[in-house]
Structures are given as structure tokens and as C-alpha cells.
Amino acid sequence: MRNLLFHEIHQTSRLSVKEVNEVLKEFGLYSSQWSILFCLKQFGAMAQKDIWQYLNVEAPTVTRTIVRLEQSDWIVRREGTDKRERIVDLSGRAKKLLPKIERRVTELEERLLSDLTEDEQLQLIALMRKLGAEAKEKDVRND
């Protein structure tokens, strides 16, 4: 049963990433970049370290994505309190375009979730968070 469950999770994840990438193509973005932009919109300016920890992505991967976002004027970076720390924030361009991008992504999400009731969606969120919390707890124990 577990193999089937995780296979379904991976397949659904791949499908959703593919669909999101198709929507984001209009803006010259990919889902990995969108994850960072969405994170910054939700939480405001953040240290790079906080971004990769929140997204559960390796630091070098996030750094490469942030560099690309900065080069294409989606984000700005500045020094933090410590010279080694870099604070990342949305650029003026990003703030202007994010509402349009969010509308497109929301339309996609609504289409993909249309077969689930609101209660089923909430239940799915709770189950996914439970799985994520369990994985994080195991990571902490293994460190």
C-alpha cells in the first residue's frame, strides 16, 4: 500500500508541477521560481537560509534560483545584519505582476481541485502536513 501511496503522491506532484510550469511560461518563470516568489509574498523579505529551510530545498539549489530571479528582475538582495547573510525581497516588477500570476495559478488550482469538496481539500491539506511533519521530525532525529 505504501509504495502505491507514494507513487500516487509523486505522480500527482509531477502533474501539478507540469501544469504550473505551463501557466508560468507566459511570465518566463518555472515552478521552483514561483515557490520562492510565493514565499516572499506570504512572509515578506527573508534571509536566503530561511527560504531554503522553509522550502526544504538544498541551499545551492535555492541560491542558483535566486540568482536567476535577481538577474531577471523578480527579486532584490541586500546584506543582512551579518555580512554573510543575504536578505531577499520582491522587486517592484514582481509586486506589480504577482497579482496577475496568482490569478492564473489560482484558476489552475481550482480546475485541478474541482473534483474535491472543500472538506476533502481541507482533509488533504491536513494529511499532507501530517506527512511533512513526520518527515521533518525524522530528519531532526537523524541529525
Per-residue pLDDT band for 89 (boundaries 50, 70, 90) equals very high
pTM, full prediction: 0.83
Per-residue pLDDT, 84: 84
The cell for 15 is 502533474
Numbers of helices and strands, H then E, in the chain? 6, 3
CB-based contact 34:44 (threshold 8 Å) = no
How far apart are alpha carbons 68 and 135 in whole angstroms?
A: 29
Over 60: is that where the pLDDT of 143 sits? no
Per-residue pLDDT band for 142 (boundaries 50, 70, 90) equals low
Cα 18 to chain center, whole Å?
14
Over 80: is that where the pLDDT of 139 sits? no
Per-residue pLDDT band for 134 (boundaries 50, 70, 90) equals low
Tens of pLDDT along 32-73?
Answer: 999 999 999 999 999 999 999 999 899 999 999 999 999 999
Q: Domain residue spans in the chain?
A: 2-107
**What is the average pLDDT across 82-103?**
94
Distance, first Cα to last Cα, the chain: 29
Per-residue pLDDT, 42: 95
What is the rounded radius of gyration, in angstroms, for the C-alpha atoms of the chain? 17
Q: What percent of the chain has pLDDT over 70?
A: 91
- Domain 2-107 indexed as CATH 1.10.10.10: yes
